[in-house]
Structure 1
Amino acid sequence: MTTSEDRIFTIPNLLSFLRLLGVPVFLWLILGPKADGWAVALLMVAGFSDWLDGKLARAWNQTSKLGRLIDPAADRLYILATLAGLVLRDIIPWWLAALVIGRDVLLLFTVPFLRRMGYGYALPVHFLGKAATANLMYAFPLLFLASHPGWYAEICAIFGWAFVIWGTGLYWWAGVLYVVQVRQLARVS
């Protein structure tokens, strides 16, 4: 029997899927023609659609298993794509990208435990993780803008680095809380 959680064709899932399709376009924009204005606009649209799909899923009772999988996947892919672009364009140091990616690598080790306990690939996203992702999504466009000459560059750099520092700290804090939660589940099982 199919439940509402098994739905695939929902507006929130469509928004998440469109966000996924934007990742290679985003990478091409920042690495090919270096059309940073368009890349930042796409990143902003992706950030807004991330907020909107969650809002609509809850408001219209269209939450689904697929949505809980592709929504955070789209977030992670945008983060990875943006980090790659920022590093390859020498806007941020490689170690910062490694720090952010390292948290996700750490969490990959929880997947076998979660699957064995019957939780699938991931636990529900924690508010702290959402706050961290939001900080990083604000930081990245600002850092791209800060890399250009213009009256806005210095203020974008200040805010961009503030958001990236807070976002990375919150990202790791959320990751540690996630590992603690997985350990607590392992003890109970």
Structure 2
Amino acid sequence: MTASLPNALTAVRLIAVPIVVVLLAVDDGAEGPARWWALVLVVFAAATDWLDGYLARRWEVVSAFGKLADPIADKALVLGVLACLVVVDDIPWWPLAILLVREIGVTLGRLAVASDVVIPASRGGKIKTALQLLSLTLFLIPGAPGWVDAIAWWVLVAAAIVAVVTGIDYARTIAAAVRDHRAASDARH
């Protein structure tokens, strides 16, 4: 049980994503009970993000699945919720576009080298995720005063900036992994 709990928490986060998306779609910007439930699930999912990594490291059960699935679960949660907020709350679309391009690029890059090396989340990637989750949590608070939305917006802008910087860093790391793989392959032949 100990070894599988962090991975189970990651799976729970993945399952929460479509539920939150449906709740936000049903609420359609009315800020009613469905929005409250979406907020609760996002906060719960954010807590599992921290907890699964903490437990995996503490119990020394870090797995290749966890290193790959954990960031995918984070991306699915953030992008799914942010896409809904762009539609139902008229949040500007450009941070979503930046995050989407970055996340697709990093994920495809990680998958391209996954047979040789697992590229775990970087410290900057974790900061980006924390900023995103804070922003989304603030945006989701039903009936929040305007200043809360303003803080949420600037935190989202900061997350987009960190996403660009860390995306470039991941691209360098992935390119180095590809070069190392080619060099090792050439040395064998």
Match for residue 177 of structure 1 among 156, 169, 178: 169
C-alpha distance in 2, partners of 1:108/1:13? Answer: 18
TM-score, length basis structure 1: 0.83
Over the matched positions of the two proteins, sequence identity in percent amounts to: 29
Tell which has more relative contact order, 1 or 2 (C-alpha 8 A, sep 6+). Answer: 2
CA contact (8 A) 1:107 1:175 kept: yes
C-alpha distance in 1, partners of 2:62/2:110? Answer: 22
- Structure 1 runs, 4 residues or longer, greater than 4 Å off: none
Q: CA shift at 1:8, angstroms?
A: 10
C-alpha distance in 2, partners of 1:57/1:167? Answer: 26
Residue identity matched to 1:97 = L
Q: CA shift at 1:32, angstroms?
A: 1.3
Are residues 1:158 and 2:150 paired?
A: yes
SS at match of 1:61: coil
C-alpha distance in 2, partners of 1:8/1:66? Answer: 15
Are residues 1:53 and 2:60 paired?
A: no
CA contact (8 A) 1:91 1:144 kept: no
Per the alignment, residue 98 of structure 1 pairs with: 97
Residue identity matched to 1:96 = P
SS at match of 1:89: helix
Q: Deviations over 1:64-107 (max 9, x none)?
A: 12211221111011012112211111331222211110112333
C-alpha distance in 2, partners of 1:45/1:86? Answer: 18
Per the alignment, residue 37 of structure 1 pairs with: 36
Aligned residue pairs, count? 176
C-alpha distance in 1, partners of 2:111/2:44? Answer: 34
C-alpha distance in 1, partners of 2:9/2:111? Answer: 29
Q: CA shift at 1:26, angstroms?
A: 0.5
Q: Deviations over 1:110-167 (max 9, x none)?
A: 2575257x22xx511111001101100000121233xx54xx4223112201210111
Per the alignment, residue 143 of structure 1 pairs with: 139
The runs of 5 or more residues in structure 1 that have no matched partner are 1-6
CA contact (8 A) 2:95 2:157 kept: no
C-alpha distance in 2, partners of 1:41/1:109? Answer: 31
C-alpha distance in 2, partners of 1:53/1:187? Answer: 32
CA contact (8 A) 2:72 2:107 kept: no
